[in-house]
Structure 1
Amino acid sequence: MRNLSFVFICLAFVACNRGAKKDKVIETRTSGTTELLVDESFARILDDQIMVFKSDYPDATVKTVLGNENKILPDFLNGKIKMVILSRMLKPDEERYYKQKQVPIYTDRFAIDGIALITNAANIDTNITVNEVFDMMKGTSKGDRKLVFDNAYSSTVRYFTDSAKVKELPKSGVYTLKTNNDVIKYVAEHKDYIGVVGVNWLLENNADILPYLPKVKMMGVKNVEGKKGGDAFYKPTQNNLINGIYPFLRNIYIINCEGRDGLGTGFANWLTSPRGQLIVLKSGLGPHKMLSREFNIRKTN
């Protein structure tokens, strides 16, 4: 009887193992599970992409970890999570971990974002030049207007400090809050402040900010003379993003260091595929590739 009981236990164990293996989804380019770090400025566009990708490939699960650039980057650089969405490419010293392990680094641009400057809807003056913005970043502005960003560690702040060639924010004239929603609400209630937010954030159907959107408006920006967009004031419309004439543009990249041909590679390829690019186009951002349209011309007599 003891031997018979032992046999039944072994059979049950084997059956459970077979069931677990059967239920486990094998990782391919269109199935399995992968994890992705996402700069929270681009959360909306990634949600849309993942939703459609999942509908096409039900066995695929793409999990996202959101945060500002400074918060998410360490987890990528130490190899904890090996895929990331950023508004810039890696610097040479940031590639060290993966190069030491001889893991290839694949970087693909899949969208073009604009950084919008917003002002209170009651303001008559809705234009500003790039040099005026840079003067504010340097703390040398002679005007009364002030800049307000989402938070001190965001990719948006980093973009403007790099562009204005300053190492830190001035002690006055430039302020940070916590989120993009906070910026929109603040500008809606304060006439002397210019908010700095990603265009895709303004296009989001976010119930928290819908009451405030009619109270703000996008500003026109004129580039430095001699540069593209330096002939007039341009707003960050989709056409202006695609044509590159709006001054404050930034690319959105997916950086893949998974080191295997799995779901991460499949999703990265999806973002630059015609289907992924169509989602970017519908979102209001600039796609990496413009989709060509073919017309069938038929002779009718």
Structure 2
Amino acid sequence: MMRQLVFILLLSGLACNRQKSAVETDTPTSGSIVVAVDESLTPLLQAEQEAFHALYEKAHIEMRFVSEAKAIELLLNDSVRMAVVTRKLTKEEEEVIKSRKISPRHITVAKEGVAIIAHKSNPDSTLTWMQLRDLIALGKYEDMKTQSPRVVFDEAQSGVVRYIKDSLLQGKPFAKNSFAAGNSKALVDYVAGTKNTFGLIGSSWISDTDDSTTVRFLKKIQVVSISKDEDAYQPYQAYIAQKVYPLARSVIVISQEPRSGLGTGFVSFMSGDLGQRIVLKAGMVPAKMPLRVVSVKRGNITN
């Protein structure tokens, strides 16, 4: 009887150790993890992912590109340890994670803009703040007298839609003739092929002029300038950094990793010098400006 009990205890201990090993198999530079990402941030996160994988060959980060609402839902349901979105958790959402004895962390890694794009035939490349609000909320644009313009966005629950509702529409709904294209690429294709249309898209899709996808997009559409006061600005790096482009938002990593695992390593990478240079290369504004070391030789200055 005693031998049977010892055998059972040994099996139980072995099973526990196996379960523990199965759970804690990743380190900051190795293992596997799933990250939920707002689809509007795809270009930046793909670039960060590729660089991280090239640096750490034993690491595998799977990006799940979904709407912002879905990314947060996956985080709250404990389906992922980390989400990359454009807002912080609400107090109620934080309490859900704290109920698991984990304190969520918010890490801002970049700033980008929400871009307004239009069909190439659009008569005006500049909109005032009031015109933009009427366009999105009422479906009206004074330069289109013969046909009502349509506004296209990526997904109904995306970070872009949520941001526009909060910052521009103050909680009011979009015009009835607005609709979701399904994703950012489909949005650009629709605007490029349909007259009298405007699109709302994350600026990372159009800001990296060295990227082939960006170059292809910019050949098909025009980027609209927005004026809130006298001057009009486009959603590019310098104007976002100077805080003069009115539709700017933060890129935030939300982590509920209880220990120093692969998620922690990836966040550290994105926040570090190389990760922030990737942000800069993508045409976005880094949360921490990368340092540029200049070597100066001492010597006499001669005319």
Q: TM-score, normalised by structure 1?
A: 0.83
1:150 to 2:154 alignment = yes
Q: Match for residue 181 of structure 1?
A: 185
Percent identity (aligned)? 29
Q: Distance in 2 between matches of 1:26 and 1:181?
A: 36
Indicate how the Cα distance of structure 1 residues 114 and 212 shifts in structure 2: closer, same or farther if over 3 A, else same. Answer: closer
Q: Match for residue 100 of structure 1?
A: 99
Q: Match for residue 7 of structure 1?
A: none
SS of 1:128's equivalent in the other structure is strand
Q: Match for residue 226 of structure 2?
A: 221
Given that residues 206 and 217 in structure 2 are in contact (C-alpha distance below 8 angstroms), is that contact kept between their aligned partners in structure 1?
no
Matches within 5 A, 1:75-94: 75-94=74-93
Task: Answer with 137-146 or 188-197: which moved more.
Answer: 137-146
Q: Match for residue 61 of structure 1?
A: 60
Matches within 5 A, 1:89-128: 89-128=88-127
Matches within 5 A, 1:1-301: 26-139=25-138, 141=140, 143=142, 144=144, 145-163=149-167, 164-172=169-177, 174-203=178-207, 205=211, 213-223=218-228, 230-301=229-300
Given that residues 121 and 214 in structure 1 are in contact (C-alpha distance below 8 angstroms), is that contact kept between their aligned partners in structure 2?
no
Q: CA RMSD, aligned part only?
A: 2.7
Given that residues 152 and 176 in structure 1 are in contact (C-alpha distance below 8 angstroms), is that contact kept between their aligned partners in structure 2?
yes
Q: Distance in 1 between matches of 2:97 and 2:34?
A: 17
TM-superposed deviation, 1:151: 2.3
SS of 2:232's equivalent in the other structure is coil
Runs of 4 or more consecutive aligned structure 1 residues displaced over 4 Å after TM superposition: 203-207, 209-212
SS of 1:48's equivalent in the other structure is helix
Q: Can you give the 5+ residue segments of structure 1 that lack an aligned partner in the other structure?
A: 1-20, 224-229
Q: TM-score, normalised by structure 2?
A: 0.82
Q: How many residues align?
A: 275
TM-superposed deviation, 1:91: 0.9
Indicate how the Cα distance of structure 1 residues 187 and 108 shifts in structure 2: closer, same or farther if over 3 A, else same. Answer: same
Write out per-residue CA displacement over residues 52-96 of structure 1, whole angstroms, 9 at most, x where no aligned residue.
112222222212211112333221112121210001111111112
Q: Match for residue 14 of structure 1?
A: none
TM-superposed deviation, 1:194: 1.2
Q: Can you give the 5+ residue segments of structure 2 that lack an aligned partner in the other structure?
A: 1-20
SS of 2:264's equivalent in the other structure is helix
Given that residues 137 and 166 in structure 1 are in contact (C-alpha distance below 8 angstroms), is that contact kept between their aligned partners in structure 2?
no
Q: Distance in 2 between matches of 1:188 and 1:64?
A: 28
Letter matched to residue 171 of structure 2: V
SS of 2:135's equivalent in the other structure is helix
Write out per-residue CA displacement over residues 242-271 of structure 1, whole angstroms, 9 at most, x where no aligned residue.
222111111111111011111111111111
SS of 2:257's equivalent in the other structure is coil
Letter matched to residue 231 of structure 1: E
Q: Distance in 2 between matches of 1:188 and 1:241?
A: 25
